[in-house]
Amino acid sequence: ARLVVLVSGSGTNLQALIDAIGDDPAAYGAQIVAVGADRDGIAGLERAERAGLPTFVCRVKDYSSRDEWDAALAAATAAYEPDLVVSAGFMKIVGKEFLARFGGRFVNTHPALLPSFPGAHGVRDALAYGAKVTGCTVHFVDDGVDTGPIIAQGVVEVRDEDYEDGGAALHERIKEVERRLLVDVVGRLARNGFHIEGRKVVIQ
């Protein structure tokens, strides 16, 4: 399968995919054909370049409306003819055009156990609520914010000392689980094929 991976930050989830694919995309079942971002100068793009992967950047401020940005992102992604699109720490909500083209094959990873704590601050919000366990969710993207069908989840315990650093260490522990989960899920989707029955994701 052909993957386009979208990033906004440090790109450790992207790196985990790059490392898992290594030099044997056939064994993993997928290859990354391009990495897209919504901003320049991020470590995620450097990781892509170091791996020799094509990159593209679509910045919201370069377009006159959010819809135009969304259409440009959809076109830039479509140019690489992906079978699956992976949002790996991509911190933008895509719009109608992107979902029309890639809905049902657009995977996101979120650092909380959905449906708890959706949105941009899943780690901080779980701590603020006083949750004793949290984790990560790999899910398909629909037109809501972190509301699409869940593919897999991983659990991470909250420790008392997590309240002292605002969640930084907790997020690191979540990301360790998240990277393994994302690599596992994307590989299985790519190798086995899948279908979505309402809320239920079936990997063949």
Catalytic annotation, residues: 110
Least Å distance, CB 16 to ligand GRF, is: 8
CA distance 82 to 21: 16
154 belongs to the binding site for ligand GRF (CB under 6 A):
no
Tell me which residues in 14-73 interact with ligand GRF (CB under 6 A). Answer: 44
**Which of 77, 120, 84, 88 shows the shortest CA–CA distance to 15?**
88
**109 annotated to a ligand binding site:** no
Nearest to ligand GRF of 70, 178 (CB atom)? 178
Residue of 1, 4, 12, 53 interacting with ligand GRF (CB under 6 A): 12
- 115: preceding bond cis by omega (within 30 degrees): yes
User: Which token pair is 63?
Assistant: 């377009």
User: Which token pair is 137?
Assistant: 């969710």
114 belongs to the binding site for ligand GRF (CB under 6 A):
no
If one counts every other C-beta atom within 10 angstroms of the C-beta of residue 84, the result is 18
95 belongs to the binding site for ligand GRF (CB under 6 A):
no
From the list 77-85, 103-111, 125-133, 151-159, the region that binds ligand GRF by CB under 6 A is 103-111
**18 annotated to a ligand binding site:** no
Contacts of the segment 82-85: beta carbons below 8 A, 24+ positions apart: 82/2, 82/3, 82/4, 82/33, 82/34, 83/1, 83/2, 83/3, 83/30, 83/190, 84/1, 84/2, 84/3, 84/4, 84/30, 84/186, 84/189, 84/190, 85/3, 85/4, 85/5, 85/6
9 belongs to the binding site for ligand GRF (CB under 6 A):
yes
End-to-end CA, the chain = 15
**66 annotated to a ligand binding site:** yes
Nearest to ligand GRF of 56, 71 (CB atom)? 56
110 belongs to the binding site for ligand GRF (CB under 6 A):
yes
**192 annotated to a ligand binding site:** no
Nearest to ligand GRF of 12, 77 (CB atom)? 12
- Annotated binding site: which residue ranges? 11-13, 66, 91-94, 108
What residues line the site for ligand GRF (CB under 6 A)?
A: 7, 9-13, 44, 88-89, 109-111, 175, 178
